Structure 1
Amino acid sequence: ILGAQQKSWLFKTLDASTATFKLVFSPTPIVGPDRSGKKDNHANTIFAHEGEQLRRKFSAVDGVIVLCGDRHWQYASEDTETGLWEFGCGPGSEKHQLGWKKGDERPSHRFLRVAGGFLSGHLESKGNASTLTLHHRTVNGDVMSTFAFPE
């Protein structure tokens, strides 16, 4: 999915970054999980080689978290092999939740909600310490999950 130049730039940039948190925004999942019949992202078997390469690289760099936009459900997943975290923001309305069955929690899921909403974040720095807090929210802004990093 990524070209050689894109991947090289991404890896070099992550390695050179001194930021406490490095947020990788992706239109599609890198951790997933995703439905078995899908063939359009790094969480699918069709792109297993590059997906594994990205998960291993991202997990080897301190502070990398993946934020995924194009899933019609909200989730937080932690890759069972690498420990890489990914957050799916979900659809922006209650009319567009689809593609995942309610209750179909997989081993990597730390949160699953098949409904509309959004993801919000808050970064707080005190001295040399920083905390990133991510919240899944309903379409009305009610908090449905909270994850704070570092854990």
Structure 2
Amino acid sequence: MLRQFTTSLMFQTRGRGLLEVTSGIAGWAAGTGVAEGLLTVFVRHTSASLLIQENADPDVRGDLDRFFARLVPDGDPLFRHRDEGPDDMPAHVRAALTAVQLSIPLSGSRLALGTWQGIYLWEHRTRPHRRELVLHLLGA
């Protein structure tokens, strides 16, 4: 019989950058007792996103940040929307180019992530923010 569970997890970011959230999500999923299923993780914001990425070498996260800084620079005169500062519209574009939702299989009561994979909340604003992730798990 399939069961489903939902929850929200809050995370405080330090400003722009990738914050690994794997352990909090994995801990919640394991606590549901579901052995096999599918977990959906959704970020409830328009200036942050989700990413599955390497969690071994911190240079990967730095390189991603530097690439996006080049691709979508703060203060770009192309953007008119600047209600909350020069990083406002670039943060929205960065979120649009990445993902606000992830689907992760659960196998043997564990997230079916690869050896070097972690789940990251990617803060695109330069200031710290409190971000909410909604989790939905369907399985048996």
TM-score greater than 0.5 by the shorter chain:
no
Q: Using structure 1 for the length normalisation, give the TM-score.
A: 0.25
More helix by share: 2
Larger radius of gyration: 2
Q: Using structure 2 for the length normalisation, give the TM-score.
A: 0.26
Q: Answer 1 or 2: higher relative contact order, Cα 8 Å, separation at least 6.
A: 2
